[in-house]
Chain A
Amino acid sequence: MVWLAFPADTRWVRLARLLTSGVAAQAGFDVEEVEDLKIAVDEICATLIERSGADEPVRLAFRPVDGTVEVVIESAIATGSAESWTEERMKLSEQILSVVVDECHSEVVDGLVRYRLVKAHLAEVAEGEDDGG
Protein backbone atom coordinates (compact mmCIF):
# COMPACT_ATOMS: atom_id res chain seq x y z
CA MET A 1 0.00 0.00 0.00
CA VAL A 2 1.04 3.56 -0.71
CA TRP A 3 -0.55 6.47 1.12
CA LEU A 4 -0.73 10.21 0.63
CA ALA A 5 -2.58 12.87 2.58
CA PHE A 6 -2.56 16.51 1.61
CA PRO A 7 -4.43 19.72 2.50
CA ALA A 8 -7.64 20.35 0.56
CA ASP A 9 -6.00 22.81 -1.79
CA THR A 10 -5.70 22.39 -5.54
CA ARG A 11 -2.01 23.28 -5.42
CA TRP A 12 -1.34 19.83 -3.93
CA VAL A 13 -3.15 17.86 -6.62
CA ARG A 14 -0.07 17.77 -8.80
CA LEU A 15 1.63 15.76 -6.07
CA ALA A 16 -1.28 13.30 -6.14
CA ARG A 17 -0.97 13.02 -9.92
CA LEU A 18 2.75 12.35 -9.69
CA LEU A 19 2.27 9.67 -7.08
CA THR A 20 -0.52 8.17 -9.17
CA SER A 21 1.73 7.97 -12.19
CA GLY A 22 4.50 6.42 -10.11
CA VAL A 23 2.24 3.69 -8.79
CA ALA A 24 0.75 3.08 -12.23
CA ALA A 25 4.23 2.81 -13.75
CA GLN A 26 5.18 0.27 -11.12
CA ALA A 27 2.13 -1.75 -12.16
CA GLY A 28 3.36 -1.77 -15.77
CA PHE A 29 0.73 0.60 -17.17
CA ASP A 30 1.33 2.12 -20.56
CA VAL A 31 1.38 5.91 -21.03
CA GLU A 32 -2.31 6.16 -21.88
CA GLU A 33 -3.36 4.06 -18.90
CA VAL A 34 -1.19 6.24 -16.68
CA GLU A 35 -2.85 9.36 -18.09
CA ASP A 36 -6.31 7.83 -17.62
CA LEU A 37 -5.68 7.06 -13.97
CA LYS A 38 -4.29 10.55 -13.44
CA ILE A 39 -7.43 12.04 -15.01
CA ALA A 40 -9.59 10.01 -12.62
CA VAL A 41 -7.57 11.02 -9.56
CA ASP A 42 -7.56 14.63 -10.75
CA GLU A 43 -11.32 14.64 -11.21
CA ILE A 44 -12.02 13.15 -7.80
CA CYS A 45 -9.49 15.27 -5.93
CA ALA A 46 -10.94 18.41 -7.48
CA THR A 47 -14.43 17.31 -6.51
CA LEU A 48 -13.44 16.55 -2.93
CA ILE A 49 -11.49 19.78 -2.55
CA GLU A 50 -14.49 21.79 -3.71
CA ARG A 51 -16.61 20.21 -1.01
CA SER A 52 -14.07 19.71 1.73
CA GLY A 53 -13.75 21.84 4.82
CA ALA A 54 -10.66 24.02 4.89
CA ASP A 55 -8.93 21.91 7.51
CA GLU A 56 -9.90 18.54 6.13
CA PRO A 57 -7.16 16.63 4.31
CA VAL A 58 -7.68 14.57 1.19
CA ARG A 59 -6.34 11.06 1.69
CA LEU A 60 -5.34 8.61 -1.02
CA ALA A 61 -4.41 4.95 -0.66
CA PHE A 62 -3.02 2.96 -3.59
CA ARG A 63 -2.94 -0.81 -3.80
CA PRO A 64 -1.08 -2.13 -6.86
CA VAL A 65 -1.68 -5.86 -7.39
CA ASP A 66 -0.86 -7.95 -10.47
CA GLY A 67 -1.14 -5.25 -13.09
CA THR A 68 -4.13 -3.64 -11.38
CA VAL A 69 -4.20 -0.50 -9.29
CA GLU A 70 -6.90 0.15 -6.72
CA VAL A 71 -7.16 3.70 -5.40
CA VAL A 72 -9.23 4.86 -2.46
CA ILE A 73 -9.64 8.62 -2.15
CA GLU A 74 -11.52 10.19 0.71
CA SER A 75 -12.15 13.41 2.53
CA ALA A 76 -14.61 14.84 5.01
CA ILE A 77 -17.13 17.13 3.37
CA ALA A 78 -17.90 20.55 4.75
CA THR A 79 -21.22 21.33 6.36
CA GLY A 80 -23.48 23.06 3.91
CA SER A 81 -21.79 21.63 0.84
CA ALA A 82 -24.69 19.37 0.05
CA GLU A 83 -25.97 21.36 -2.91
CA SER A 84 -26.39 19.35 -6.02
CA TRP A 85 -24.13 19.60 -8.96
CA THR A 86 -25.87 20.76 -12.02
CA GLU A 87 -27.18 17.72 -13.84
CA GLU A 88 -24.87 18.15 -16.79
CA ARG A 89 -21.79 18.50 -14.56
CA MET A 90 -22.69 15.35 -12.66
CA LYS A 91 -23.31 13.34 -15.81
CA LEU A 92 -20.11 14.54 -17.38
CA SER A 93 -18.13 13.49 -14.31
CA GLU A 94 -19.80 10.08 -14.33
CA GLN A 95 -19.03 9.72 -18.00
CA ILE A 96 -15.38 10.68 -17.59
CA LEU A 97 -14.82 8.28 -14.72
CA SER A 98 -16.65 5.42 -16.43
CA VAL A 99 -14.32 5.74 -19.43
CA VAL A 100 -10.95 6.19 -17.74
CA VAL A 101 -11.19 3.51 -15.05
CA ASP A 102 -12.64 0.00 -14.93
CA GLU A 103 -14.54 0.48 -11.69
CA CYS A 104 -15.55 3.57 -9.76
CA HIS A 105 -17.85 3.70 -6.77
CA SER A 106 -18.43 6.35 -4.16
CA GLU A 107 -20.15 6.43 -0.83
CA VAL A 108 -20.90 9.00 1.81
CA VAL A 109 -20.69 7.80 5.39
CA ASP A 110 -20.90 10.10 8.40
CA GLY A 111 -19.77 13.11 6.45
CA LEU A 112 -16.86 11.24 4.90
CA VAL A 113 -16.86 10.86 1.12
CA ARG A 114 -14.95 7.85 -0.14
CA TYR A 115 -14.25 6.92 -3.75
CA ARG A 116 -12.85 3.58 -4.80
CA LEU A 117 -11.30 3.21 -8.25
CA VAL A 118 -9.89 0.18 -9.99
CA LYS A 119 -7.89 0.21 -13.20
CA ALA A 120 -6.18 -2.74 -14.85
CA HIS A 121 -3.33 -2.88 -17.32
CA LEU A 122 -4.91 -4.46 -20.37
CA ALA A 123 -1.87 -5.30 -22.49
CA GLU A 124 -1.80 -8.93 -21.40
CA VAL A 125 -5.46 -9.30 -22.34
CA ALA A 126 -4.89 -7.75 -25.75
CA GLU A 127 -1.83 -9.89 -26.42
CA GLY A 128 -3.78 -13.00 -25.44
CA GLU A 129 -6.51 -12.08 -27.90
CA ASP A 130 -3.93 -11.49 -30.62
CA ASP A 131 -2.42 -14.90 -30.01
CA GLY A 132 -5.81 -16.53 -30.20
CA GLY A 133 -6.66 -14.76 -33.45
Chain B
Amino acid sequence: MAADSPETIERFREWRRTGDRTLRNTLIEDHRWIAIHCARRFAKRGQPLEDLIQVGQLGVLKAVERFDPEMGVSFTTFAMPTVLGELRRHFRDATWAVRVPRRAKDLHLELSSSIEQLSQKLRRAPTIDELAVAMHVSTNEVLEAMEAATAYRAAPLTPPGDDDDDEHGEDGVTIGGADPELGRTDDRLAVRTLLDHLPPRERRIVYLRFFEELTQSEIADAVGMSQVHVSRLLRSSLERLRQMADAPLLPETVA
Protein backbone atom coordinates (compact mmCIF):
# COMPACT_ATOMS: atom_id res chain seq x y z
CA MET B 1 0.00 0.00 0.00
CA ALA B 2 1.17 3.51 -0.77
CA ALA B 3 2.51 5.51 2.10
CA ASP B 4 0.49 8.42 3.38
CA SER B 5 1.51 11.84 2.17
CA PRO B 6 3.15 14.19 4.68
CA GLU B 7 -0.01 16.34 4.51
CA THR B 8 -2.20 13.37 5.42
CA ILE B 9 0.05 12.36 8.29
CA GLU B 10 -0.02 15.90 9.60
CA ARG B 11 -3.81 15.96 9.36
CA PHE B 12 -4.07 12.79 11.41
CA ARG B 13 -1.72 14.24 14.02
CA GLU B 14 -3.78 17.41 14.16
CA TRP B 15 -7.03 15.46 14.46
CA ARG B 16 -5.66 13.33 17.30
CA ARG B 17 -4.34 16.43 19.03
CA THR B 18 -7.44 18.58 18.71
CA GLY B 19 -10.38 16.22 18.21
CA ASP B 20 -11.63 18.70 15.62
CA ARG B 21 -14.67 17.09 14.00
CA THR B 22 -14.32 19.12 10.83
CA LEU B 23 -10.83 17.77 10.40
CA ARG B 24 -12.06 14.25 11.09
CA ASN B 25 -14.78 14.61 8.47
CA THR B 26 -12.20 15.84 5.99
CA LEU B 27 -10.09 12.77 6.64
CA ILE B 28 -13.14 10.55 6.13
CA GLU B 29 -13.91 12.26 2.85
CA ASP B 30 -10.28 12.07 1.73
CA HIS B 31 -10.41 8.31 2.17
CA ARG B 32 -13.85 7.70 0.75
CA TRP B 33 -12.14 5.83 -2.08
CA ILE B 34 -11.35 3.02 0.37
CA ALA B 35 -15.08 2.60 1.06
CA ILE B 36 -15.78 2.57 -2.68
CA HIS B 37 -12.98 0.11 -3.36
CA CYS B 38 -14.17 -2.30 -0.67
CA ALA B 39 -17.87 -1.88 -1.48
CA ARG B 40 -17.25 -2.95 -5.06
CA ARG B 41 -16.02 -6.30 -3.80
CA PHE B 42 -19.54 -6.93 -2.46
CA ALA B 43 -21.40 -5.37 -5.37
CA LYS B 44 -22.88 -8.55 -6.80
CA ARG B 45 -24.83 -9.50 -3.74
CA GLY B 46 -28.05 -7.72 -4.61
CA GLN B 47 -27.67 -4.44 -2.74
CA PRO B 48 -27.18 -0.99 -4.27
CA LEU B 49 -23.54 -0.01 -4.51
CA GLU B 50 -24.25 3.38 -2.97
CA ASP B 51 -25.67 1.72 0.16
CA LEU B 52 -22.58 -0.45 0.41
CA ILE B 53 -20.32 2.56 0.03
CA GLN B 54 -22.11 4.20 2.92
CA VAL B 55 -21.60 1.07 5.02
CA GLY B 56 -17.95 1.22 4.04
CA GLN B 57 -17.83 4.87 5.07
CA LEU B 58 -18.82 3.83 8.59
CA GLY B 59 -15.75 1.58 8.57
CA VAL B 60 -13.61 4.46 7.35
CA LEU B 61 -14.95 6.59 10.20
CA LYS B 62 -14.03 3.94 12.77
CA ALA B 63 -10.58 3.59 11.23
CA VAL B 64 -10.00 7.36 11.23
CA GLU B 65 -10.95 7.53 14.90
CA ARG B 66 -8.53 4.76 15.83
CA PHE B 67 -5.59 5.38 13.51
CA ASP B 68 -2.32 6.50 15.01
CA PRO B 69 0.07 7.87 12.36
CA GLU B 70 3.01 6.96 14.59
CA MET B 71 2.27 3.22 14.24
CA GLY B 72 4.35 3.01 11.10
CA VAL B 73 1.68 1.66 8.75
CA SER B 74 -0.24 3.57 6.15
CA PHE B 75 -3.83 4.51 6.85
CA THR B 76 -4.99 2.40 3.90
CA THR B 77 -3.34 -0.71 5.32
CA PHE B 78 -4.84 0.05 8.70
CA ALA B 79 -8.35 0.88 7.44
CA MET B 80 -8.95 -1.89 4.92
CA PRO B 81 -9.71 -4.69 7.42
CA THR B 82 -12.04 -2.42 9.37
CA VAL B 83 -13.97 -1.39 6.27
CA LEU B 84 -14.23 -4.96 4.99
CA GLY B 85 -15.33 -6.06 8.46
CA GLU B 86 -18.07 -3.46 8.47
CA LEU B 87 -19.33 -4.69 5.11
CA ARG B 88 -19.24 -8.32 6.21
CA ARG B 89 -21.17 -7.40 9.36
CA HIS B 90 -23.72 -5.62 7.19
CA PHE B 91 -24.32 -8.73 5.12
CA ARG B 92 -24.37 -10.98 8.14
CA ASP B 93 -27.06 -8.82 9.77
CA ALA B 94 -28.97 -8.40 6.53
CA THR B 95 -29.17 -12.17 6.23
CA TRP B 96 -31.87 -12.11 8.84
CA ALA B 97 -33.93 -9.77 6.76
CA VAL B 98 -33.78 -12.22 3.89
CA ARG B 99 -35.14 -14.92 6.15
CA VAL B 100 -38.15 -12.92 7.23
CA PRO B 101 -41.16 -14.83 5.91
CA ARG B 102 -42.51 -13.49 2.64
CA ARG B 103 -46.00 -13.24 4.10
CA ALA B 104 -44.69 -11.05 6.93
CA LYS B 105 -42.94 -8.76 4.49
CA ASP B 106 -46.15 -8.33 2.54
CA LEU B 107 -48.19 -7.73 5.66
CA HIS B 108 -45.77 -5.14 6.98
CA LEU B 109 -46.70 -2.89 4.09
CA GLU B 110 -50.31 -3.10 5.22
CA LEU B 111 -49.42 -2.80 8.89
CA SER B 112 -48.40 0.83 8.73
CA SER B 113 -51.65 2.09 7.25
CA SER B 114 -53.70 -0.14 9.56
CA ILE B 115 -51.99 1.33 12.61
CA GLU B 116 -52.64 4.84 11.37
CA GLN B 117 -56.28 4.18 10.56
CA LEU B 118 -56.97 2.46 13.87
CA SER B 119 -55.06 5.11 15.85
CA GLN B 120 -57.26 7.80 14.32
CA LYS B 121 -60.42 5.82 14.92
CA LEU B 122 -59.61 4.79 18.50
CA ARG B 123 -57.64 7.93 19.38
CA ARG B 124 -54.97 5.72 20.94
CA ALA B 125 -52.47 3.13 19.77
CA PRO B 126 -54.23 -0.12 18.81
CA THR B 127 -53.57 -3.41 20.54
CA ILE B 128 -52.24 -6.38 18.61
CA ASP B 129 -55.63 -8.10 18.75
CA GLU B 130 -57.34 -5.04 17.32
CA LEU B 131 -54.83 -4.92 14.47
CA ALA B 132 -55.32 -8.62 13.78
CA VAL B 133 -59.09 -8.16 13.46
CA ALA B 134 -58.70 -5.10 11.23
CA MET B 135 -56.16 -6.82 8.97
CA HIS B 136 -58.03 -10.17 8.97
CA VAL B 137 -54.96 -12.07 10.10
CA SER B 138 -53.81 -13.84 13.27
CA THR B 139 -52.07 -12.01 16.12
CA ASN B 140 -48.93 -14.01 15.34
CA GLU B 141 -48.95 -12.68 11.79
CA VAL B 142 -49.25 -9.13 13.11
CA LEU B 143 -46.26 -9.71 15.37
CA GLU B 144 -44.25 -11.17 12.49
CA ALA B 145 -45.15 -8.18 10.36
CA MET B 146 -44.05 -5.79 13.11
CA GLU B 147 -40.75 -7.60 13.36
CA ALA B 148 -40.36 -7.65 9.58
CA ALA B 149 -40.83 -3.91 9.54
CA THR B 150 -37.84 -3.42 11.76
CA ALA B 151 -35.75 -6.50 11.04
CA TYR B 152 -33.76 -5.19 8.18
CA ARG B 153 -31.15 -2.49 8.29
CA ALA B 154 -33.01 0.47 6.98
CA ALA B 155 -30.84 3.21 8.41
CA PRO B 156 -29.72 5.67 5.79
CA LEU B 157 -26.06 5.10 6.35
CA THR B 158 -24.92 8.65 5.95
CA PRO B 159 -21.47 9.04 7.46
CA PRO B 160 -22.04 10.14 11.03
CA GLY B 161 -21.19 13.73 11.58
CA ASP B 162 -21.82 14.56 7.95
CA ASP B 163 -24.56 16.87 9.06
CA ASP B 164 -24.68 19.16 6.10
CA ASP B 165 -25.88 16.44 3.79
CA ASP B 166 -28.75 15.13 5.81
CA GLU B 167 -30.91 17.99 6.94
CA HIS B 168 -33.81 16.45 5.06
CA GLY B 169 -35.48 13.16 5.84
CA GLU B 170 -35.94 10.64 3.09
CA ASP B 171 -39.52 11.82 2.81
CA GLY B 172 -38.25 15.29 2.00
CA VAL B 173 -39.34 16.69 5.34
CA THR B 174 -37.05 19.12 7.06
CA ILE B 175 -36.73 18.02 10.61
CA GLY B 176 -33.89 20.11 11.91
CA GLY B 177 -30.26 19.52 12.63
CA ALA B 178 -28.47 19.42 15.95
CA ASP B 179 -30.54 19.58 19.11
CA PRO B 180 -29.28 22.31 21.37
CA GLU B 181 -31.65 20.98 24.06
CA LEU B 182 -29.39 17.99 24.43
CA GLY B 183 -26.92 20.10 26.32
CA ARG B 184 -29.28 21.14 29.08
CA THR B 185 -27.98 18.87 31.79
CA ASP B 186 -24.74 17.12 32.53
CA ASP B 187 -26.22 13.76 31.66
CA ARG B 188 -27.49 15.02 28.36
CA LEU B 189 -24.14 16.56 27.69
CA ALA B 190 -22.57 13.18 28.33
CA VAL B 191 -24.68 11.44 25.72
CA ARG B 192 -24.41 14.30 23.28
CA THR B 193 -21.06 13.02 22.12
CA LEU B 194 -22.51 9.63 21.38
CA LEU B 195 -25.62 10.92 19.63
CA ASP B 196 -23.38 13.05 17.44
CA HIS B 197 -22.54 9.81 15.67
CA LEU B 198 -26.06 9.74 14.27
CA PRO B 199 -27.27 11.65 11.24
CA PRO B 200 -29.54 14.60 12.19
CA ARG B 201 -32.85 12.88 11.50
CA GLU B 202 -32.04 9.80 13.57
CA ARG B 203 -30.51 11.96 16.30
CA ARG B 204 -33.69 13.97 16.51
CA ILE B 205 -35.93 10.92 16.65
CA VAL B 206 -33.80 9.31 19.37
CA TYR B 207 -33.84 12.57 21.28
CA LEU B 208 -37.61 13.01 21.00
CA ARG B 209 -38.28 9.44 22.13
CA PHE B 210 -35.77 8.99 24.91
CA PHE B 211 -35.31 12.51 26.23
CA GLU B 212 -38.52 14.34 25.43
CA GLU B 213 -40.41 11.06 25.96
CA LEU B 214 -42.73 11.53 23.04
CA THR B 215 -44.50 8.38 21.89
CA GLN B 216 -43.63 6.90 18.53
CA SER B 217 -46.94 8.17 17.13
CA GLU B 218 -46.27 11.68 18.40
CA ILE B 219 -42.83 11.60 16.81
CA ALA B 220 -44.38 10.31 13.60
CA ASP B 221 -46.70 13.33 13.55
CA ALA B 222 -43.86 15.70 14.40
CA VAL B 223 -41.53 14.54 11.64
CA GLY B 224 -44.09 13.55 9.03
CA MET B 225 -43.59 9.81 8.73
CA SER B 226 -45.40 6.68 9.87
CA GLN B 227 -45.11 5.17 13.34
CA VAL B 228 -43.71 2.01 11.76
CA HIS B 229 -41.01 4.06 10.08
CA VAL B 230 -40.17 5.79 13.36
CA SER B 231 -39.93 2.40 15.04
CA ARG B 232 -37.59 1.17 12.33
CA LEU B 233 -35.34 4.22 12.60
CA LEU B 234 -35.22 3.95 16.39
CA ARG B 235 -34.13 0.34 16.13
CA SER B 236 -31.44 1.00 13.56
CA SER B 237 -30.20 4.07 15.45
CA LEU B 238 -29.82 2.14 18.69
CA GLU B 239 -28.02 -0.61 16.83
CA ARG B 240 -25.64 1.92 15.36
CA LEU B 241 -25.00 3.51 18.75
CA ARG B 242 -24.15 0.11 20.17
CA GLN B 243 -21.76 -0.52 17.31
CA MET B 244 -20.05 2.78 17.98
CA ALA B 245 -19.56 2.05 21.65
CA ASP B 246 -16.15 0.71 22.48
CA ALA B 247 -16.21 -1.21 25.73
CA PRO B 248 -19.69 -1.92 26.98
CA LEU B 249 -20.65 -2.59 30.56
CA LEU B 250 -24.08 -2.62 32.05
CA PRO B 251 -24.87 -0.24 34.89
CA GLU B 252 -25.45 -1.54 38.40
CA THR B 253 -28.92 -0.06 38.59
CA VAL B 254 -30.70 1.62 35.77
CA ALA B 255 -33.95 2.84 37.24
Point out residues on A near B: beta carbons under 8 Å: 10-11, 14, 17-18, 21-22, 24-25, 28-35, 39, 42-44, 46-48, 50-51, 81-99, 101, 103-108, 113, 115, 123, 126
Docked CA distance A91–B147 (Å): 27
Contacts of B190 in A (CB 8 A): 87-88, 91
Known contacts: A42-B235, A86-B246, A106-B252. The answer to whether A31 contacts B126 by CB under 8 A is: yes
Min CB–CB distance B98 → chain A (angstroms): 12
Q: Check A108 against B252 for contact (C-beta < 8 Å).
A: yes
Q: What chain A residues lie within 8 Å of B128 (beta carbons)? A: 21, 24-25, 29-31, 34
Does B242 sit at the interface, judged by CB under 8 A?
A: yes
User: Do A22 and B255 contact each other (CB < 8 Å), given the known contacts A32-B227, A35-B231, A39-B238?
Assistant: no
Chain B contact residue count (CB 8 A cutoff):
52
Centre residue among B92, B127, B215 by max chain A CB count within 10 A: B127
Residues B115 and A97 in contact, CB atoms below 8 Å apart: no
B209 within 8 A of A: yes
Of B124, B143, B238, B252, the residue contacting A30 (CB under 8 A) is B124
CA gap between A107 and B140 in the complex, in Å: 33
Contact A22 B231 (CB under 8 A): no
B253 touches A105 (CB 8 A): yes
Q: Say whether, besides A25-B139, A46-B242, A93 and B250 are in contact (CB < 8 Å).
A: yes
Docked CA distance A50–B125 (Å): 34
- 20 further A-B contacts with Cβ under 8 Å, apart from A14-B151, A31-B126, A35-B234, are A14-B147, A21-B143, A25-B143, A28-B129, A29-B128, A30-B127, A39-B235, A39-B238, A48-B250, A85-B250, A86-B245, A86-B246, A87-B190, A88-B190, A89-B245, A93-B250, A93-B254, A94-B255, A96-B210, A99-B209
Q: Kindly specify which of B1-9, B54-62, B170-178, B191-199 makes contact with the partner chain.
A: B191-199
A81-B192 Cα distance, complex, nearest whole Å: 25
Centre residue among B124, B231, B249 by max chain A CB count within 10 A: B249
Partner of A88, one of B92, B131, B144, B192: B192
Interface string of B214-254 (1 = CB under 8 A from A): 01110000000001000100110011011001111111111
CA distance A93 to B217 in the complex (A): 22
Q: Is the CB of B96 within 8 A of A92?
A: no
- Nearest residue, chain B, Cβ from A43: B238
Tell me, in angstroms, the Cα distance from A81 to B250 when the chains sit together: 11
Q: A88–B185 Cα gap in the complex (Å)?
A: 13
Decide: B254 and A106 in contact? CB cutoff 8 A. Answer: yes
Given A31-B227, A91-B187: A113 and B250 within 8 A (CB)? yes
Chain A interface secondary structure, helix, strand, loop or mixed? helix
- Residue numbers in A under 8 Å from B10 (CB-CB): none
> Which residues on the B side are within 8 Å of A88 (C-beta)?
190-194
Q: Does B38 contact A (CB under 8 A)?
A: no
The CA of A24 and the CA of B127, in the complex, are separated in Å by 10
Residues of B within 8 A of A10 (CB): 93
| B255 touches which of A24, A31, A101 (Cβ 8 Å) | A101
In the complex, A86→B235 CA distance in Å? 21
Tell me the nearest residue of chain B to A84, going by C-beta: B249
For the complex, is B50 an interface residue (Cβ under 8 Å from A)?
no
Inter-chain contact B146/A21, CB cutoff 8 Å = yes
Residues of B within 8 Å of A95, CB to CB, are 187, 191, 210-211
A31 to chain B, nearest CB (A): 5
Closest residue of chain A to B127 (Cβ to Cβ) is: A30
Give 10 A-B contacts (CB < 8 Å), ordered by A residue: A14-B96, A44-B250, A47-B250, A89-B245, A92-B195, A93-B254, A94-B255, A95-B191, A99-B210, A106-B254
